[in-house]
């Protein structure tokens, strides 16, 4: 089994092409890892064991036909917020019990088209509402580095599965930190693309003007490789941009770190940042300088404004998006009347969890007559100011860096605060609201817990942050 331990996607790809391993072998390895670890970590809601093994066997038996597909024979995981045809899709909510989509999301279809083997659907905060992955109807996910701690969220299952070597890599979604924050807490690489770079079609929506699918992987190379596959225009998503997709992995050039102009927002460092997180960040800054980067400190709008905007804007969009589920009977085709009645009565009372109800109520209030101008409209105006502020900074600098999160992984009790998610994501929220790309990579450890550093770039300039993150990753290794 050591042959397969902690392999990256590209390492698996190379071994498959050289026939050093078979797809059936590596798929069986991950399924055994899931069987061994998922009881404690709870990273998966649904495991597609039989389907995965069948696809792996098909790849092995049709090697010459399938080998040129970019993910041919490679086992990965997908957050359970993506519609997957014929596979249970729940968004970690009781209200979607038994829902089997009849169509495939654009992202998962692209993965399948390139020969990926989907091991299963990973856990998340219910409908992506949270930064802890404890609001899931299917139980909390635990942090692989310390089972008493949170993995982050909402893509906590994807990050935990990747960190625990229960998949080669995974796909998550981010609304404001939901890829980068769990990646920081679990010690993985999380890449949040520019809004509109990756299609949202088939993603169970949280905040429609914010949601971004993206990869969570074991290194920067894999994130760049996956982004090249899932990015691109989609006629089914009116918010996707019709721009050419670079080959992010092949175009990586770490030499470009020399002379790169990078800035650090002073206001980000004024947050209550844990000492070990700050020390690891400053060590990374020192390394980047030695690599030739020109690093300066700048002033930005206080991140607390971004937190306020997110609290109002996201909750308003949540209330609109979740209205479609209220009283809808998913997964009950062909059921008798008594079954439908019992299900309807239970989901009306228990379908949405506490956090979902809280966000629906707050968002509905923000959009209600007499309050929309005071809250939602003002929130959007401040959001535009945040975007202009960051855009102006990025006219002078190639990218922005900061700690990904103010702390290492926290405990369950910390998530009792209604604004826990906003506070955990405070260093990522502004860039998400501005639609900017960001990547988090491990910056070191505080005891046994990982810390993260993030690179934020210009719209549709994922390559620059990938180059700089790869340069640092290589220097840290």
Catalytic residue, chosen from 37, 55, 79, 192, is 79
| Structure-token pair, residue 96 | 């979607």
CA distances from 438 to 72, 176, 321 (A): 27, 11, 25
**Nearest alpha-carbon partner for 118 in 107, 127, 134, 128:** 107
User: In the block, which residue shows the tokens 């979607």?
Assistant: 96
Tokens found for residue 123: 């856990």
**Whole-angstrom Cα distance, residue 426 to residue 448?**
23
Annotation says 290 is catalytic: no
**Bridge partners for 453 per DSSP:** 403, 441
Whether 154 sits among the annotated catalytic residues: the reply is: yes
Burial class, 172, CB count within 10 angstroms (exposed 0-12 / middle 13-18 / buried 19+)? buried
Contact 308, 382 (CB under 8 A): yes
As a whole number of angstroms, the distance between CA 317 and CA 324 comes to 12
Burial class (CB in 10 A: 0-12, 13-18, 19+), 382: middle
The residue to which tokens 């992010």 are assigned: 248
Contact 37, 160 (CB under 8 A): no
- Helix (H) / strand (E) element for 214: namely strand 212-217
Q: How far apart are CA 293 and CA 140, in angstroms?
A: 41
Catalytic residue among 132, 136, 178, 319: 178
Catalytic, out of 28, 131, 154, 183: 154
Q: Exposure string (b/e) for 91-129, b if CB count within 10 Å is 16 or more?
A: bbbbbbbebebeebbbbbbbbbebbbbbbbbbbbbbbbb
28 assigned to active site? no
With beta carbons less than 8 A apart as the criterion, state whether 440 and 284 touch: no
State how far the alpha carbon of 149 is from the alpha carbons of 182, 410, 419, in Å. 12, 6, 18
Q: How far apart are the C-alpha atoms of 461 and 444, rounded to whole Å?
A: 26
Catalytic residues: 79, 154, 178
């Amino acid at each position: 089994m050591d042959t397969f331990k902690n392999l990256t996607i590209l390492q698996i790809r190379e071994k498959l092409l050289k026939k050093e391993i078979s797809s059936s072998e590596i798929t069986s390895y991950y399924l055994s890892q899931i069987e061994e670890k998922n009881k404690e970590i709870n990273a998966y809601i649904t495991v597609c064991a039989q389907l995965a093994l069948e696809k792996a066997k098909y790849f092995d038996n049709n090697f010459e036909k399938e080998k040129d597909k970019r993910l041919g024979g490679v086992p990965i995981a997908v957050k359970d917020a993506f519609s997957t045809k014929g596979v249970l899709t729940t968004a970690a909510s009781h209200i979607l019990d038994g829902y089997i989509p009849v169509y495939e999301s654009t992202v998962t279809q692209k993965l399948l088209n390139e020969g990926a083997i989907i091991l299963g659907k990973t856990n998340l905060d219910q409908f992506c509402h949270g930064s802890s992955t404890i609001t899931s109807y299917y139980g909390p996910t635990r942090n692989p580095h310390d089972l008493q701690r949170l993995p982050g969220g909402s893509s906590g299952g994807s990050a935990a599965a990747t960190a625990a070597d229960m998949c080669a890599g995974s796909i998550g979604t981010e609304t404001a930190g939901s890829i980068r924050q769990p990646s920081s807490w679990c010690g993985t690489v999380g890449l949040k693309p520019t809004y509109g770079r990756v299609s949202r079609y088939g993603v169970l929506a949280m905040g429609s003007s914010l949601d971004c699918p993206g990869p969570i992987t074991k290194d920067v190379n894999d994130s760049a490789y996956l982004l090249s596959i899932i990015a691109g225009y989609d006629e089914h998503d009116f918010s996707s941009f019709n721009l050419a997709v670079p080959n992010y992995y092949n175009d990586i050039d770490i030499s470009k770190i020399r002379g790169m102009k990078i800035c650090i927002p002073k206001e980000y460092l004024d947050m209550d940042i844990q000492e070990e997180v700050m020390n690891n960040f400053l060590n990374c800054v020192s390394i980047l300088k030695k690599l030739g980067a020109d690093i300066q400190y700048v002033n930005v709008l206080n991140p607390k404004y971004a937190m306020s905007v997110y609290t109002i804007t996201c909750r308003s969009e949540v209330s609109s998006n979740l209205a479609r589920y209220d009283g809808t009977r998913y997964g009950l085709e062909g059921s008798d009347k008594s079954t439908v009645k019992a299900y309807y009565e239970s989901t009306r009372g228990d379908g949405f969890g506490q956090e979902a109800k809280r966000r629906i109520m707050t968002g509905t209030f923000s959009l209600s007559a007499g309050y929309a101008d005071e809250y939602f409209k003002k929130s959007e105006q401040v959001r535009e100011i945040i975007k202009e502020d960051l855009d102006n900074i990025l006219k002078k600098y190639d990218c922005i860096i900061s700690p990904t999160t103010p702390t290492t992984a926290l405990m369950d009790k910390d998530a009792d605060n209604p604004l826990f998610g906003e506070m955990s994501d405070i260093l990522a929220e502004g860039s998400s609201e501005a639609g900017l790309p960001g990547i988090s990579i491990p910056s070191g450890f505080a005891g046994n817990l990982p810390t993260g550093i993030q690179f934020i770039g210009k719209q549709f300039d994922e390559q620059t942050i990938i180059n700089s993150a790869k340069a640092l990753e290589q220097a840290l290794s």
